[in-house]
Amino acid sequence: MDSFIIIGTAGHVDHGKTQLVKVLTGVDTDRLKEEQERGISIELGFAPLYFSNGMVAGIVDVPGHERFVKNMLAGAAGVDLVLFVVAADEGVMPQTREHLDILELLHVQQGIVALTKADLVDQDWLQLVKEEVRELLSGTRFEDAPIVSVSSVTGEGLDELRRILEQMAAAVQSKPWTGPARLPIDRIFTITGFGTVLTGTLFSGSICLGDTLAIMPSEVQGRVRSLQVHGKKTEAAYAGQRVAVNLAGVEVSEVERGEVLVAPGAFIPVRRLTIWLHVLERAPHNLKNWQRVRFHLGTKETLGRLRLLNHDELSPGDDAFAQIELEEPVVAAVHDRLVIRQYSPVTTIGGGEIVEVGGLRHRRFRHEVLERLERKLSGSPFARLGEELQTVRGPVMPGDLAGKAGLTVAEVRQFLEEMRDAGDIFLFDLGCETYAVTVALIASWEQAVEAALRQYHQQFPLRNGYPKEELRSRIFSAIPPRLYQALLDKWVTDRKLAITGQTLAWSGFSVQLTAQQQSVLEKALFVLRAQPFAPPPVEELRVLFGDPELLQYCLQQEILVKVGEELYFLKEGVGQAWQMLRGFMQEHGEVTVAEVRDLLGISRRYCLPLLEYFDQTKKTKRLGDKRKLF
């Protein structure tokens, strides 16, 4: 596959960006009728640029008019190299400065300056403009950028410009092909007979024919019917390429620019981001806490409010951590670059880097919060993952951590295994799902379970333990049932608790009757054994046992059996009755209610519930008014 990078144009309106792209590529990127009539770019334009060394660059031509800066921002997403255009006859203009600020905030890797319309000025004037541009670039990441004088009319400087572009393109660091596919959508249209086509720069991963992809945050899904990279059909597209994706099963009305085409389940749209924010030196005003701003990420523009975490306001040139509460959900990843524009009047005021995607609403002016965010911002991938794990309040899956920590799923799995081996986390492999849980969280859960069980044992000392499902709904309702069972199994293995049926008991607990309770129980059993097939009514039993917990204990320990509503038999009495009935049926083949009554010497009040109990426990089968062995 050919190497591929994205070159973006930048510069003031009518400085010759589109004409320069046309002479370099042969493509007029002003495709709209209004653009051709007015002579200015309004929407994004695209063209391929082929180099002699076999590399291919996709040029994104952006509008220069101040009214269309939001379109420029959409086009700047994913740019590797900027072709910064300044007209020699006008020099540096307002949008020249704003476009430079945006490129700085987005951390575009490299840049080259083309002084266009060089044929319209003399050499002295041209030198003055070069000095003005060099002064503008001083102190920025582009201060050493080459400056080439060109003319789209005479062809002056075009060969040199192409040569330098080729050299710089070869030095661009490619985007990661690993990880989930993510393509911010910058254009949507329909082709008759084919359906909906979405275009954009593939930020990460790859897309192949037949893949099922999701459009987020709308969650519409479609299958990749065909792929193109600048007009050429392909079976696969890779990060760094300009891609046109034809999706089956998706209507144009279901998609809008700013949404993101992703691998299903790889990204969760959020309304809160934690960011490292830089306010431009040229910002017109201080930036205040809870100020409403325009937020730009990839091709998405939405509104939001900034919560400054350690300032009440920021002056031009200041840096700080902040959280932005957005009015619409966005798809984002850690380390993504963003731009902030003033709500009104609209102008670029700052930008920065995403530190956390989603997550908690941080309290302001907390040193521990700021220190943790600093470690996330500047730490190693391993340190960032550790910090992310410390902030989540629950089990987390590797795929979720990948997006939050700015890593691939494979990298996350490797780090998690190392952390497990170091004793920092537990990994629960539950078939197709893996959950990571920190040691600290396991310990806090264990403390909560121990406290709940000990309190229960103290309150109900005659019960085997806490109902298993009741404990889950009280403490573990937010985690999957399979993980809850895995936790219980771990604590059983660690001899922290015991499971009896559907109840849980803390280590060391056992049911112990007091001497008084034992005496009461023996007296009650004596009464029940006197008439094993005709126990007293439940009201008398409650008086006999005195303590309702003692009655519950007898049921739990299966000393008593609930045979019918409000009717409790001794288990040994039920066993005796069954032996007698089974022997009768083995001899006679069946038994009637009347025969049971005579056999056991009891009334129908006891006889019928006992027979129904044997039916329910699959010992007998009812056939009319008779019973047979099951």
Q: Considering Cα of 177, then 181, then 184, then 187, what sign does the dihedral take?
A: positive
C-alpha dist (Å) from residue 322 to 103, 223, 353, 370, 570: 21, 38, 10, 10, 69
Q: Which domains can be identified in the chain, with CATH numbers?
A: 4-170 (3.40.50.300), 182-262 (2.40.30.10), 270-373 (2.40.30.10), 440-506 (1.10.10.10), 515-629 (1.10.10.10)
Alpha carbon of residue 143 to chain centroid: 38
pLDDT band at 28 (very low <50, low <70, confident <90, very high): confident
Mean pLDDT for 349-375 is 93
Residue in this structure with the two tokens 């949008």, named with its chain if needed: 95
pLDDT band at 403 (very low <50, low <70, confident <90, very high): low
Partner residues linked to 353 by β-bridges: 276, 337
Residue type at 333 in one-letter notation:
A
Ranking 67-81, 161-175, 261-275, 402-416 by mean pLDDT, the lowest is: 67-81
- Dist CA 623 CA 409 (whole Å): 62
Percentage of the chain lying above the pLDDT 70 cut:
95
Which value, in Å, is the radius of gyration of the alpha carbons in the chain?
37
Mean pLDDT for 420-426 is 91
Q: Considering Cα of 616, then 621, then 627, then 630, what sign does the dihedral take?
A: negative
Closest CA to 521 of 498, 553, 491: 553
3-state secondary structure of 261: strand
Mean pLDDT for 511-530 is 92
Burial annotation 559-598 (CB, 10 A radius, 16+ → b, else e): bbbebeeebbbbeebbeebbeebeebbeeeeebeeebbee
* Token pair listed for 517: 């309770």
Q: Beta strands 187-191 and 292-297: pairing type?
A: unpaired
pLDDT band at 66 (very low <50, low <70, confident <90, very high): low
Q: Considering Cα of 603, then 605, then 606, then 611, what sign does the dihedral take?
A: positive
Closest CA to 107 of 355, 352, 406: 352
pLDDT band at 41 (very low <50, low <70, confident <90, very high): very low
The contacts of residue 5 (CB under 8 Å, 6+ apart) are: 55, 57, 58, 80, 81, 169, 172, 174, 240
**pLDDT reported for residue 35:** 36
**pLDDT reported for residue 259:** 96
**pLDDT reported for residue 405:** 67
**pLDDT reported for residue 1:** 46
Closest CA to 48 of 337, 244, 300: 244
Phi, psi at 620, each rounded to 5°? -125, 165
Greatest C-alpha distance within the chain: 128
CB 93 within 8 A of CB 122: no
**pLDDT reported for residue 156:** 96
Ranking 76-80, 430-434, 530-534, 611-615 by mean pLDDT, the lowest is: 76-80
**pLDDT reported for residue 348:** 94
**pLDDT reported for residue 67:** 55
- Dist CA 270 CA 300 (whole Å): 13
Element (H, E) at 129: helix 123-137
* Token pair listed for 528: 């029940």
* Token pair listed for 93: 């203009």
Q: What is the pLDDT of residues 497-509, one digit of tens each?
A: 999 989 999 999 9
pLDDT band at 600 (very low <50, low <70, confident <90, very high): very high
Closest CA to 169 of 8, 338, 44: 8
**pLDDT reported for residue 37:** 43
Q: Give the number of residues written for the chain.
A: 630
**pLDDT reported for residue 73:** 74
- Dist CA 279 CA 211 (whole Å): 41
**pLDDT reported for residue 547:** 87
C-alpha dist (Å) from residue 487 to 435, 445, 476: 11, 9, 10
Q: What mean pLDDT, rounded, does the chain reach?
A: 90
C-alpha dist (Å) from residue 381 to 404, 407, 416: 11, 7, 12
* Token pair listed for 415: 């780090």
**pLDDT reported for residue 240:** 87
Asked whether the bond before 217 is cis by omega within 30 degrees of 0, the reply is: yes
Residue in this structure with the two tokens 């309190």, named with its chain if needed: 455
Closest CA to 517 of 543, 563, 549: 549
**pLDDT reported for residue 133:** 97
**pLDDT reported for residue 34:** 45
C-alpha dist (Å) from residue 575 to 84, 212, 478, 529, 560: 94, 62, 44, 13, 11
Crossing angle, helix 548-556 and helix 515-530, to 10 degrees? 70
